[in-house]
Amino acid sequence: MATTGGSNMFFDASCNGNMIFLGHRDPVFRGPRSFLSIDDMSRKRPFFSTHEELIEEEFYDEQLPEKKRRLTTEQVHQLEKSFETENKLEPDRKTELAKKLGLQPRQVAVWFQNRRARWKTKQLERDYDLLKASYDSLLSDYDDVVKENMKLKSEVVSLTEKLQAKEMNPKEGVAGPRHDQLLPHNDNPDVIEGPVKAEDRLSSDSIGSAIVDEEGLQLVDSGNSYFPGNDYSYCMDLIGNVQAKEKNDYPKMDLIQSEEDDCNDVKSGYFSNVFEAAENQNQDGDGESLGWWVWS
């Protein structure tokens, strides 16, 4: 008795008269899955698709134990076509396909199982790529916002210092600076001009940070401001804009946070774009239609 296959597949070319074992045996022996006569073999032998192939392989089979055979290209083509229309296999369709392709129904079922597994693996890879691209894009946007934030903070600090300097020396200069004179001349957002409080330098990432500390605001708002109304309003608008920006300029991040709060519906909210894109991409023709795919 010749035995082959690590998964308990065995073949007995000599036993039981004209009967042979064909199939697999469980680790705990419960008998072969099928007994086939020689005649049955020519009709039902699993790994051959056509009678011609069976004859062609006869000598080979006499010499070697049961071998795993690949399906022919035509068989695979037909199976792929069937899989495209419906990736699940009803019993009727399985029987019909098996008959049509000269395979055992079990082979057709196994082929569909493996095909679904392959498709799932590929789909996971695609989803990963899409999510990664989306993440990279968001990261880039976030970096831009952070840079813009730092630039605006440095502007505020610069203007505040100028205001304080003017308050200390009200006699300097006859007229107050115009708007364009208040604008900072600092092209490097990372460099904060003038003397800046330590906490101002350190507080670059929190909404409640002391961009303009209360002392500074009180100074500006003392009623003794050097600046005429328009300039004062300008400064306050600027400060307000900065604060509003810090509070409101992260819509995408807020949305992601909300999705994190509710992970049950992966396809809703922000990620819906990703999956819609994935579906569109697939429908656009990389050969894998998603028409029947049910996200779970």
**Contact residues for DNA (CB under 7 A)?**
4-9, 23-28, 33, 46-47, 67-71, 76, 88-89, 91, 106-107, 109-114, 116-118, 120
- Return the axis-axis angle of helices 105-168 and 251-261, rounded to nearest 10°: 130
Q: What is the nearest approach in angstroms of DNA to the Cβ of residue 257?
A: 29
Q: What is the nearest approach in angstroms of DNA to the Cβ of residue 202?
A: 47
Residue where the block lists tokens 């035995």: 3
- Identify which of residues 32 and 176 has a Cβ nearer to DNA in the complex: 32
- Identify which of residues 250 and 293 has a Cβ nearer to DNA in the complex: 293
Q: What is the nearest approach in angstroms of DNA to the Cβ of residue 119?
A: 9
246, 149 in Cβ contact below 8 A? yes
d(C-alpha 148, C-alpha 190), whole Å: 10
Q: Retrieve residue 144's tokens.
A: 């831009």
The one-letter amino acid at 119: W
Residue 108 CA: distances (Å) to CA of 30, 81, 89, 101: 24, 13, 9, 9
End-to-end CA distance of the chain: 47
- Identify which of residues 67 and 178 has a Cβ nearer to DNA in the complex: 67
Q: What is the nearest approach in angstroms of DNA to the Cβ of residue 78?
A: 12
- Identify which of residues 5 and 291 has a Cβ nearer to DNA in the complex: 5
Q: What is the nearest approach in angstroms of DNA to the Cβ of residue 286?
A: 15
Q: What is the nearest approach in angstroms of DNA to the Cβ of residue 129?
A: 16
178, 163 in Cβ contact below 8 A? no
- Identify which of residues 64 and 165 has a Cβ nearer to DNA in the complex: 64
The one-letter amino acid at 214: E
- Identify which of residues 204 and 282 has a Cβ nearer to DNA in the complex: 282
User: Can you list the pairs that 145-151 forms with residues at least 24 positions away whose Cβ atoms lie under 8 Å?
Assistant: 145/249, 145/250, 146/205, 147/189, 148/245, 148/249, 149/204, 149/245, 149/246, 149/249, 150/189, 150/190, 150/204, 151/189
- Identify which of residues 88 and 247 has a Cβ nearer to DNA in the complex: 88
Q: What is the nearest approach in angstroms of DNA to the Cβ of residue 112?
A: 7
Residue where the block lists tokens 């035509």: 74
